[in-house]
Amino acid sequence: MYLPEGKKARRQRAIVSELGLSPTVRTSDLARRLGVSVETVRRDIEELTQQGLVSRTYGGAAGRQLGLQPAYQEREALAVEERDAIAAKAVGLVKAGDVLMIDSGSTTARFAHALARAAIRVTVITNCFAVAQALAMNDAARVIFCPGDVSGREGGVYGSETCAFLKGFYADVTFIGASGLTVDGPTDVETGATWVKRGMIDRAERQVLLLDSSKFGRRHLERICPLDGLSDLVTDRKPDGALGERIAAGPTALHV
């Protein structure tokens, strides 16, 4: 990567370096750290996007590493308020008596905590330790935990056993997370996680993606399913541009 010398170059190198540590950064946070205006940071991000070094997102920027994402424990500290709001909204899609499939992720774990507080009588099939733990303390929920190979980094179990196990059940609603969302559909970094998400999607009448807006427009290693394969998207902001137009014109219901 080559950037010319000067104040702008130092700022832009700092932005790229920041994205090496965190998958996304907010324009306002960068402006505060760098001591410049939000508009200056926006121009820097636009230039870096044109050079292919970062991806501009709603309110900030994202890294270009298609095959990398932070570990589960690191993702827990990102976009906390947004994911809590998404979790609370998603609980409204659940009815008493529903059978749910919930995959492993930081946003789906927050959804499980919100679901436990709501004390709705449900059956939950999950591969996520945090989801199972949150709901196991709630007498209203029956929790069925998938077998499989343990991944401490992802906070769940994966593999052929997990996918085969899911085929023995049907669900009213599947709730999944993703690393990114484009007009082609949700994407993810982990192959094992992608196969579990697909398995859960196939077994449910309704397929709900829980995703914060920092992931809009982000491509990663694998596409989970076509955008039209999602019945619902629950997020913290309405997507704009091509993604917003595609969702508005398609069958996926948007919940903000």
Q: What is the 3-state secondary structure (H, E, C) of 163-219?
A: HHHHCCCCEEEEEECCCEEECCEEEECCHHHHHHHHHHHHCEEEEEEECCHHHECCC
Give the model's pLDDT for residue 58: 78
Tell me the pTM. 0.74
Helix (H, G, I), strand (E, B), or coil: what is residue 102? Answer: strand
Residue 150, strand partner residues: 157
Residue type, 172: D
User: Which strands, in side-by-side order, build the sheet including 122-126?
Assistant: 141-145, 122-126, 99-102, 171-176, 204-210, 232-234, 253-255
Q: Are 215 and 63 contacting, i.e. CB atoms less than 8 angstroms apart?
A: no
pLDDT the model gives residue 1: 40
To 5 degrees, how large is the angle CA 22–CA 23–CA 25? 70
| Surface-to-core class of residue 230, CB atoms within 10 Å of its CB (0-12 exposed, 13-18 middle, 19+ buried) | buried
Per cent of the chain over pLDDT 90 is 61
Please, which pLDDT band fits residue 79 given cuts at 50, 70 and 90? low
Give Cα separations from 190 to 105, 176, 179, 211 (angstroms): 11, 14, 9, 16
Distance CA 125, CA 53 (A): 40
pLDDT tens for 234-243 read 999 999 889 9
Q: Name the residue with tokens 């492993």.
A: 104
Domains annotated on the chain, with CATH: 7-63 (1.10.10.10), 72-255 (3.40.50.1360)
